[in-house]
C-alpha cells in the first residue's frame, strides 16, 4: 500500500522537509479516515442486527425500529438498505428528520463514512436548500420537505424506502406525514392501474385526478406505465421505548428493538428549587470543571439567546481561574446556527481541554455528540403553543417531560459511566408529565389544513391522524385561512389564492403578502421583507456593544417601521443576510414559476405598507392611552419590543409579525399603518363604527 508507506516515511522525515511532509500526509489521510470509519461502524450496537433488520424489512412493508440514541439508527440503517439492494433501479432511500440541523449534520457524516462527496450518492434537502443530485440514493431531509414533495409527486414514486426518523418527537409534520404515507403505501401496493382508476371522490388521497391538470396527469401516467411502482417500505424510527402507538396506527406493525449500550449515570438533584437556572447552570459548569475528572459537559438550554448569554458568562468568568484551569472551550449548537459552526461540536477538544456544549433540545436525541460525560439539565424547554381563543402562537418556556429528562441524562452514559445534574429537586421530577404533548395538539393548524387540502384531502376532521387534533383548533385555523382568502365558503381551497398559497413554502400570512404584493406592483420589495422575516434577526446586537449597534441601526431605521427598515439592506449580521439572500432567490424563483410579476414600487413605499396591512391584518394593534397596544383580533395587551425601530415612536396603529411572550407580551417586526386601511383592505374582519 503505497500511501501508507509514504505516510510513514513522511513522519520520519518530518523535521527535515515540512512541505513534502504536508503533501504526503494529505494524500494518506482519506485512507486512514476510511479505516477508522469501518471500525467505528462495526462497533455500533446496530451493527449486530444488520442482517436481522434487512430480513425484517424484506418481510414487512412497515417496520418500527426502536433504539437508544447513538446506537447507529440514523447513520447506519440507510447504508444497510443501500447495500441490501433497495436503491436498485434508481430507487431512493429517504430519511426524514424533524430538525434541519440533524438532516444536514447526519448527511455530512454519512457522506464521509461512504467516502463520497456530499450531494452525490448521499445528500440532503431542507427548505430553501437542496444538496442532492441525480445520483443521490440516500437522501436526508426534513419531514416538512417530504410533505411538500408529495404535492408534486403524490405517490412519492422515486422513493423505495421512507424512514421517518425521530418519530417520538411527534412534530406536526411527522404526524401528517405518517397519515399520508399510510395512504401512499396502500395506493402503491394496489398497483398503478388500480390507483388511477379509483373513484376519486371516495379515495381520500384522490389527489392525482383532482389536483393535477390534464397534462400533469398524462405525464404522471406515463411515468407510472413506464416504470411499475414498487411497493413502498416504511420504517419508523424512534428513540423512546414505547413503539405501541406507531404499531397500532400501522395495523399492528412489527417493532424491532436495537439493544443500546448504556453505562450507569448518576443523577444528582438540587436540594431547593433554583430561582435562576442560568446562574445555577454556570455554577454547575465551573463546579464540574474544577472538581470532576476529564470528560465533556453537555448543557441543555432553551434557545439561542440563553446559549449566547451562558457562553458569554463562561468566558467572562474564565480569567478568574488559575491559568492551568482555563482549558475550557464552549461550543453552541442550535438550529439557526450556520452549519459549518454546527459541525464544530463534533470535533474532539484539543488534549487537556474540556468541551462545554451548549445545546437546545436538539441534542436530546437527534444529534449525538461524542465525548459527553456530564449533563447539566435545568429541566426547561422552549415550545411553540397555540391559543385557539386568541389565535396567537407564543413561544413559551415550560418544564420538560419525564421522557425528555431521561433522554437528556442518557447522553452522559454513552461511552462510560457519567453524571447528570438536574437543576431541580427530586420531588419536582415526580411531578413532571410522562411525555411531551404532540405538537399537533398545540399548534396552529392552518399550514396543515392548507397542505391537506392541496393534496385533495378535504375532510380534515375525518383524516386518519395518529392523534386527532382539537376540533376547536381545526375550526380556528380554517377560519384564519378563510379570512386570508385561501378557503371558499364551502371550505374548498380557493382558486387562485388558496392554490398559490399551498404552493409557496411559507406561512400562509407570508404567502398572502406575496400574492397581494404581486397585484400592487411591490413584489420586488415584499420578497425582500419576507425573506428577511424568515431568518433570525439580521441585526447583530452583542450585549457589550449594545449602544453602538443601536446607533448603527438608527442610521437606517425607517420611521414607517421595521419592515421598511429591513428593506434598507444596511445589514449587520452578514450570515443571516446571506441566508436571507438564499431564501430570497428561492422564493423569487418560486414566485416567477407561478407566474407572478416581480415589479418594484420604486421609492414610494406606500403600496408596500398597504399590502402588509392587507396580509397581516389579523396582527393589527391600536395604541392605548398608557402607551401599550391592544391587539385587535385577540384583545391582548401587547408592547412593542425594545428592538423595534418604533419602540419610542409608538404610532397609533400598527401591524406586527410576531408575538413573543416573556414577562410581557412583546410584539416584534412592526409597521405603521393607517387604521382606515383595515376596514378598506380587510372588510371580512373589520368595519368602521357608525
Ligand atoms: O440515530 P442514532 O441516535 O441511533 O445514532 P446515529 O445518529 O446513527 O449515530 C451513531 C454514532 O455515530 C454516534 O454514536 C456518534 O458517535 C457517531 N456520529 C458522529 O460522530 N458524528 C455525527 N455527525 C453523527 C454520528
Ligand atoms: Mg438518530
Partners of 421 in the β-ladder: 268, 376
**Minimum-distance ligand to the CA of 68?**
1
CA of 568 to the centre of ligand 2 (A): 42
Confidence of residue 24 (pLDDT cuts 50, 70, 90): very low
Residues 675 and 587 in one domain: yes
Q: Say if residues 298 and 374 touch (Cβ distance below 8 Å).
A: yes
- pLDDT value, residue 648: 92
Flag whether 466 is in a domain: no
CA of 102 to the centre of ligand 1 (A): 10
Task: Give me the residue label for grid cell 445534574.
Answer: 421
Q: Which of 43, 70, 73 to mutate to test the pocket of ligand 1 (most atoms within 8 A of CB)?
A: 70
Three cell numbers written together for 344: 464544530
The residue from 258, 273, 295 where one domain ends is 258
Confidence of residue 242 (pLDDT cuts 50, 70, 90): confident
Which of ligand 1's atoms lies nearest the C-alpha of 46? 4
- pLDDT value, residue 202: 34
CA-closest residue to ligand 1 atom 25: 368
Flag whether 464 is in a domain: no
Partners of 561 in the β-ladder: 671
- pLDDT value, residue 23: 42
Q: Which of 37, 138, 260, 368 to mutate to test the pocket of ligand 1 (most atoms within 8 A of CB)?
A: 368
Pocket of ligand 1 (CB under 6 A): 44, 67, 69-76, 105-106, 109, 346, 368, 370
**Minimum-distance ligand to the CA of 108?**
1
Residues 252 and 278 in one domain: no
Residues 323 and 419 in one domain: yes
The residues, any chain, with a CB within 8 Å of residue 645's CB and separated by 6 or more, are 553, 554, 557, 558, 559, 561, 562, 565
Q: How many domains does the chain have?
A: 4
| 270 or 206: which leads in pLDDT | 270
Q: Say if residues 660 and 669 touch (Cβ distance below 8 Å).
A: no
Nearest to 219 by CA among 152, 133, 136, 151: 152
Which of ligand 1's atoms lies nearest the C-alpha of 68? 4
Residues 119 and 246 in one domain: yes
Number of DSSP helices (H) and strands (E) in the chain, helices first:
27, 21
CA 496 remoteness from chain centre: 29
Q: Give the chain's radius of gyration (CA, Å).
A: 27
Which of ligand 1's atoms lies nearest the C-alpha of 346? 21
Flag whether 470 is in a domain: no
Flag whether 458 is in a domain: no
- pLDDT value, residue 539: 65
Q: Which of 37, 109, 296 to mutate to test the pocket of ligand 1 (most atoms within 8 A of CB)?
A: 109
Instruction: Establish how many alpha carbons lie within 13 A of residue 164's alpha carbon, considering only the half-sphere containing its beta carbon.
Output: 28
Q: Say if residues 425 and 269 touch (Cβ distance below 8 Å).
A: yes
**Minimum-distance ligand to the CA of 45?**
1
**DSSP H helices in 504-635:** 508-519, 523-533, 546-554, 562-567, 574-593, 606-615
CA of 301 to the centre of ligand 2 (A): 20
What is the DSSP code (8-state) at residue 272? S
Residue 77 domain boundaries: 45-258
CA of 280 to the centre of ligand 1 (A): 30
What is the pLDDT averaged over residues 622-647? 94
**Minimum-distance ligand to the CA of 36?**
1
Q: Say if residues 132 and 139 touch (Cβ distance below 8 Å).
A: yes
Q: How many CB atoms lie within 10 A of CB 633?
A: 17
- pLDDT value, residue 193: 44
Domain of residue 665, CATH code? 1.20.120.1080
Which of ligand 1's atoms lies nearest the C-alpha of 165? 1
**What would the pLDDT profile of 435-467 be if each residue is shown by its tens digit?**
989 999 998 899 999 999 999 999 999 999 999
Confidence of residue 33 (pLDDT cuts 50, 70, 90): low
CA-closest residue to ligand 1 atom 18: 368
**What would the pLDDT profile of 350-382 be if each residue is shown by its tens digit?**
999 999 999 999 899 878 889 999 999 999 999
The residue from 437, 454, 474 where one domain ends is 437
What is the pLDDT averaged over residues 220-235? 68
The residues, any chain, with a CB within 8 Å of residue 634's CB and separated by 6 or more, are 389, 390, 391, 392
Which of ligand 1's atoms lies nearest the C-alpha of 370? 16
Interface pTM (ipTM) of the complex? 0.99
Residues 190 and 224 in one domain: yes
The residue from 437, 463, 482 where one domain ends is 437
Nearest to 292 by CA among 425, 419, 422: 419
Residues 249 and 236 in one domain: yes
Residues 417 and 548 in one domain: no
Three cell numbers written together for 631: 391587539
**Minimum-distance ligand to the CA of 110?**
1
CA of 563 to the centre of ligand 2 (A): 39
Q: Report the chain's mean pLDDT, rounded to a whole number.
A: 86
Domain of residue 381, CATH code? 3.40.50.300
Q: Which helix (H) or strand (E) holds 82?
A: helix 73-83
Residues 289 and 407 in one domain: yes
Flag whether 546 is in a domain: yes
Which of ligand 1's atoms lies nearest the C-alpha of 365? 3
Phi and psi angles of residue 615, each rounded to the nearest 5 degrees, phi first: -110, -35
Amino acid at each position: 500500500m503505497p500511501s501508507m508507506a509514504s505516510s510513514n516515511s513522511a513522519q520520519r522525515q518530518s523535521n527535515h522537509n515540512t512541505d513534502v511532509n504536508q503533501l504526503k500526509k494529505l494524500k494518506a489521510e482519506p485512507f486512514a479516515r476510511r479505516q477508522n470509519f469501518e471500525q467505528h461502524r462495526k462497533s455500533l450496537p446496530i451493527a449486530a442486527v444488520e442482517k436481522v433488520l434487512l430480513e425484517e424489512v424484506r418481510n414487512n412493508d412497515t417496520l418500527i425500529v426502536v433504539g437508544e440514541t447513538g446506537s447507529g439508527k440514523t447513520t447506519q440503517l440507510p447504508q444497510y438498505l443501500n447495500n441490501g439492494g433497495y436503491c436498485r433501479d434508481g430507487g431512493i432511500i429517504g430519511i426524514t428528520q424533524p430538525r434541519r440541523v440533524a438532516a444536514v449534520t447526519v448527511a455530512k457524516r454519512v457522506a464521509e463514512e461512504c467516502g463520497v462527496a456530499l450531494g452525490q450518492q448521499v445528500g440532503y434537502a431542507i427548505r430553501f436548500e437542496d444538496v442532492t443530485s441525480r445520483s443521490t440514493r440516500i437522501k436526508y431531509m426534513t419531514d416538512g420537505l417530504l410533505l411538500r414533495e408529495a404535492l408534486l409527486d403524490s405517490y412519492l414514486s422515486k422513493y423505495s424506502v421512507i424512514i421517518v426518523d425521530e418519530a417520538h418527537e411527534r412534530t406536526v409534520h411527522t404526524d401528517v406525514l405518517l397519515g399520508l404515507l399510510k395512504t401512499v403505501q396502500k395506493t402503491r401496493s394496489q398497483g398503478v392501474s388500480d390507483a388511477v382508476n379509483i373513484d376519486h371522490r371516495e379515495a381520500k388521497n384522490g389527489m392525482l385526478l383532482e389536483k393535477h391538470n390534464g397534462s400533469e396527469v398524462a405525464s404522471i401516467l406515463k411515468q407510472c406505465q413506464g416504470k411499475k411502482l414498487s411497493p413502498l417500505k416504511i420504517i419508523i424510527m424512534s428513540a423512546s421505548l414505547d413503539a405501541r402507538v406507531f404499531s397500532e396506527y400501522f395495523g399492528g406493525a412489527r417493532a424491532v428493538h436495537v439493544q443500546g449500550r448504556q453505562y450507569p449515570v448518576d443523577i444528582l438533584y438540587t436540594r431547593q428549587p433554583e430561582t435562576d437556572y442560568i446562574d445555577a447552570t454556570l455554577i454547575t459548569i465551573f463546579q464540574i470543571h474544577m472538581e470532576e475528572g476529564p470528560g465533556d459537559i453537555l448543557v441543555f438550554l432553551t434557545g439561542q439567546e440563553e446559549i449566547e448569554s451562558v457562553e458569554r458568562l463562561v468566558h467572562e468568568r474564565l480569567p478568574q481561574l488559575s491559568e492551568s484551569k482555563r482549558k475550557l472551550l464552549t461550543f453552541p449548537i442550535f438550529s439557526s446556527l450556520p452549519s459549518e459552526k454546527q459541525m464544530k461540536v463534533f470535533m474532539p477538544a484539543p488534549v487537556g481541554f474540556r468541551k462545554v456544549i451548549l445545546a437546545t433540545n436538539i441534542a436530546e436525541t437527534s444529534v449525538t455528540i461524542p465525548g459527553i460525560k456530564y449533563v447539566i439539565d435545568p429541566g426547561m424547554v422552549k415550545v411553540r403553543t397555540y391559543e385557539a381563543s386568541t389565535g396567537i402562537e407564543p413561544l413559551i418556556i415550560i418544564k420538560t417531560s419525564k421522557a425528555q429528562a431521561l433522554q437528556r441524562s442518557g447522553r452522559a452514559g454513552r461511552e462510560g459511566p457519567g453524571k447528570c445534574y438536574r437543576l431541580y429537586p427530586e420531588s419536582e421530577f415526580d411531578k413532571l408529565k410522562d411525555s411531551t404533548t404532540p405538537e399537533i395538539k398545540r399548534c396552529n393548524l392552518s399550514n396543515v389544513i392548507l397542505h391537506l387540502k392541496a393534496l385533495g384531502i378535504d375532510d380534515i376532521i375525518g383524516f386518519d391522524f395518529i392523534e386527532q387534533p382539537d376540533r376547536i383548533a381545526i375550526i380556528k385555523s380554517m377560519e384564519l385561512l378563510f379570512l386570508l382568502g385561501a378557503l371558499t365558503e364551502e371550505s374548498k381551497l380557493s382558486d387562485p389564492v388558496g392554490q398559490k398559497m399551498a404552493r409557496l413554502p411559507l406561512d400562509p400570512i407570508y404567502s398572502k403578502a406575496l400574492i397581494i404584493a404581486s397585484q400592487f406592483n411591490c413584489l420586488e420589495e415584499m420578497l425582500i421583507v419576507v425573506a428577511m422575516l424568515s431568518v433570525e434577526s439580521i441585526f447583530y446586537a452583542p450585549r457589550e456593544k449594545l449602544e453602538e449597534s443601536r446607533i448603527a441601526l438608527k442610521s437606517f431605521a425607517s420611521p414607517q417601521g421595521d419592515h421598511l427598515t429591513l428593506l434598507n439592506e444596511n445589514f449587520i449580521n452578514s450570515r443571516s443576510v446571506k441566508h436571507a439572500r438564499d431564501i430570497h432567490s428561492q422564493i423569487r424563483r418560486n414566485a416567477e414559476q407561478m407566474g407572478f410579476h416581480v415589479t418594484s414600487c420604486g421609492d414610494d413605499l406606500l403600496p408596500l405598507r398597504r399590502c402588509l396591512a392587507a396580509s397581516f391584518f389579523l396582527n393589527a394593534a391600536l395604541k392605548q392611552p398608557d402607551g401599550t397596544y391592544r391587539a385587535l383580533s385577540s384583545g391582548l395587551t401587547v408592547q412593542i419590543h425594545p428592538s423595534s425601530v418604533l419602540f419610542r415612536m409608538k404610532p397609533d396603529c400598527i401591524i406586527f409579525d410576531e408575538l413573543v411572550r416573556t414577562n410581557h407580551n412583546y410584539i416584534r417586526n412592526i409597521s405603521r399603518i393607517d387604521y382606515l386601511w383595515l376596514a378598506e383592505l380587510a372588510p371580512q374582519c373589520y368595519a368602521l363604527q357608525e
